Amino acid sequence: MPSFDIVSEVDLHEVSNAVDQANRELTKRFDFKATNARFDLEGSQVTLRAPNEFQVKQMFDILRDRFAARKVDTRCLSAEAPQANVSETWQLINIRRGIETDLAKQIVKMIKKEKLKVQASIQGDKVRVSGKKKDDLQHVIELMKESKIDMPLQYENYRD
């Protein structure tokens, strides 16, 4: 029976390259000279550090541009509120990977609502869709592409 997986993955190597490029751009920009502003990548979390909140917001725009230039979908970024102390402001940016349970349930409901002859099941951080006809599976992929889901989705592990 043909099947495929709906996943949400991010290439962490490209994320690392994007953060490195953003750090290099900060060293070249006049408005960030001698400010000790920087991006720190720790696992799947990027920390933006700058002297004030305005510069942190500018840094977030730089980071999004670098992600887009490296062809990493910016919908995977989840920004927390900026935090500040006397000398520094920082903001945590989480890189979302995998499909969360609530979103997976929403995807399964969307597929069942179409009343196609396919089965959708949640398997960890992915959704497996299987059916007898390839056309039904292709219709599910088109349905997912047209939906307004705020996570980048990929379709992989197709088995015939």
Please indicate, yes or no, whether residues 63 and 108 belong to a single structural domain of this protein: no
pLDDT single digits (tens) 20-48: 999 999 988 888 888 888 999 998 899 99
For the chain, the domain total comes to: 2
pLDDT single digits (tens) 68-86: 999 988 888 889 999 988 8
- Yes or no: say if 132 and 119 are a contact pair by the CB < 8 Å rule: no
Q: Which is nearest to 153 in space by CA: 85, 73, 78, 79?
A: 73
- Yes or no: say if 130 and 117 are a contact pair by the CB < 8 Å rule: no
Domain-terminating residue out of 72, 95, 118: 95
Domain-terminating residue out of 95, 122, 151: 95
Please indicate, yes or no, whether residues 75 and 105 belong to a single structural domain of this protein: no
Please indicate, yes or no, whether residues 21 and 87 belong to a single structural domain of this protein: yes
Please indicate, yes or no, whether residues 116 and 53 belong to a single structural domain of this protein: no
What pTM value is reported for the model? 0.82
CA–CA distance, 52 with 39 (Å, rounded to integer): 14
pLDDT single digits (tens) 85-138: 888 999 999 999 888 888 889 889 888 888 888 888 888 888 899 888 888 888
Please indicate, yes or no, whether residues 87 and 117 belong to a single structural domain of this protein: no
Q: Which segments of 29-100 does DSSP mark as H helices, in order?
A: 53-69
